[in-house]
Amino acid sequence: MADFIKVYDENPNEKEIDKLVKCLRSGGIIIYPTDTVYGLGCDITNTKALERIAKIKGVKLEKANFSFVCNDLSHLSDYIKQIDTATYKILKRSLPGAYTFILPGSSSLPKVFKKRKTVGIRVPDNNIARSIVKSLGNPIVSTSIHDEDEILEYTTDPELIFEKWKNIVDVVVDGGYGGNLPSTVIDLTKSEPEVIRKGKGSLIIL
């Protein structure tokens, strides 16, 4: 059964963050809060964990639209091709924030993502999520946890999330109630930014 760990967003406890990082490094899967909905995440460098998440979501790993969750923009050059100044300015003024930006993938992507032309980059405005990534030292691959209920769509109560997922994942983080609006997805690979999904993030940044 999964561990259920309480972490406070204002000041995440280092010991609790270390437990989560240890879990990720050993190939574990966690459910954690972001600035939008709760997400399912694993270490980007662990292929077995990536395959496990793809299986849970019922998708082929190579074709999965997972996001790369980063602590800041310093990891960008590891995973995306060089971008122009205008694109970088959009990222700079909107992150951390409730956005997923589609950017051109580079040749140094992890092996399982090598064939991908684009990647989705997230820097959530949530201290827990960013503390996990910072302590891990590389991004986590993430996907939202959907609810079967078509009206709810996203579960916001961490205790209910734990009840549902406790036999599927390794750790569920209780970071307080989550949101029920996903991130706004913006494609920055074309000549003009294109909104793929309108979510929590406003479009004033464009």
51-69 average pLDDT score: 92
Q: Tens digit of pLDDT for each residue in 37-47?
A: 999 999 999 99
103-127 average pLDDT score: 91
Q: Tens digit of pLDDT for each residue in 157-166?
A: 999 999 999 9
Residue 204 belongs to some domain of the structure = no
- Do residues 183 and 122 lie in contact, with contact meaning Cβ atoms separated by under 8 Å? yes
Scanning the structure block, which residue is given the tokens 């923009």?
A: 73
Percent above pLDDT 90 for the chain: 80
Regarding predicted confidence, which is higher, 111 or 168?
168
Cα dihedral 27→31→34→39 (10° resolution): 90
How many structural domains comprise the chain?
Answer: 1
**Model pLDDT, residue 76:** 86
Range(s) of the domain holding residue 186: 3-197
Residue 90 belongs to some domain of the structure = yes
**Model pLDDT, residue 152:** 62
Residue 18 belongs to some domain of the structure = yes
- Mean pLDDT over all residues of the chain? 93
Residue 206 belongs to some domain of the structure = no
Phi, psi of 130 (to 5 degrees): -70, -35
Specify the CATH number for the domain of residue 87. 3.90.870.10
83-104 average pLDDT score: 95
**Model pLDDT, residue 111:** 85
103-116 average pLDDT score: 87
Residue 134 belongs to some domain of the structure = yes
Residue 116 belongs to some domain of the structure = yes
Residue 105 belongs to some domain of the structure = yes
Regarding predicted confidence, which is higher, 32 or 76?
32
**Model pLDDT, residue 116:** 86
Residue 79 belongs to some domain of the structure = yes
Regarding predicted confidence, which is higher, 124 or 112?
124
**Model pLDDT, residue 148:** 67
Q: If we measure between CA atoms, which residue out of 158, 149, 181 comes closest to residue 35?
A: 181
93-122 average pLDDT score: 92
